[in-house]
Amino acid sequence: MARTSSRNAAALSAIAALVALLVALGSERFLGLVPCALCLWERWPYRIAIGLGVLAFLLPRPARVALLWLLLLSVLAAAALAFVHVGVEQGFWPSPLPECAAPHFSGGSVAERLASMPAKPSKPCDEPTFLVPDVPLSMAAMNLLFALAFAALLAIYLLRGTGRRRWA
């Protein structure tokens, strides 16, 4: 069985993180889905993972391995953020971000209320967004599953490589 080199693992990891971002951005741009504040936070670990993957691809083997471990931590952070978001959507806990709440307007004239509204419409974080109709998995839940699978595959690769065999 052919063994994947650490350079290939770095490239594949950067591509996987890029795919996660492209799905999020594509669903926003082409499907008109509006991201909430937690959705926007969930994208940062993938941005970091892309950078780490590209650096790992370019650097020599010892640095590459260290960067792949950091990339794994970044993907685990993506999973943790997605877990928090799914919990907020399910009503298990309130959002840790104040901007996740729907705007509340009280008092004042109509002009004052309109002036206090955000320039861009915001979406509350506890309102799930579904990418695929009739599939009960929100975007946050799909992100959680993707991040967990990504992290598991990368962890298996890294743990197998630190044992008996040397890195390619």
Q: What is the pLDDT of residue 164?
A: 42
Q: What is the pLDDT of residues 122-156, one digit of tens each?
A: 688 888 888 787 888 989 999 999 999 999 999 99
Residues 21-67: pLDDT tens digits? Answer: 999 999 989 988 888 889 999 999 999 999 999 999 999 988 999 99
pLDDT digits (tens, 9 = 90+) for 6-29: 999 999 999 999 999 999 999 989
157 falls within a domain: yes
The contacts of residue 21 (CB under 8 Å, 6+ apart) are 43, 46, 47, 50
- Asked if the structure places residue 1 within a domain, the reply is no
Residues 66-81 pLDDT 10s: 999 999 999 999 999 9
Could you report how far apart the first and last alpha carbons of the chain are, in Å? 14
Task: Please check whether residue 61 lies inside any domain of the structure.
Answer: yes
Quick one: which H or E segment has residue 9? helix 6-29
Query: What is the C-alpha separation between 155 and 151, in angstroms, rounded?
Result: 6
Domain carrying residue 153 = 6-100+108-161
Closest C-alpha to 168, from 71, 61, 55, 68? 61
Q: Please state the domain count of the chain.
A: 1
Domain annotation covers residue 167? no
Structure tokens at 24: 């999020």
pTM above 0.85, yes or no: no
- CATH no. for residue 65? 1.20.1550.10
Token digits of residue 64: 């590459």
Question: What CA–CA distances, in Å, run from 10 to 2, 111, 127, 152, 156?
Answer: 17, 53, 35, 15, 14
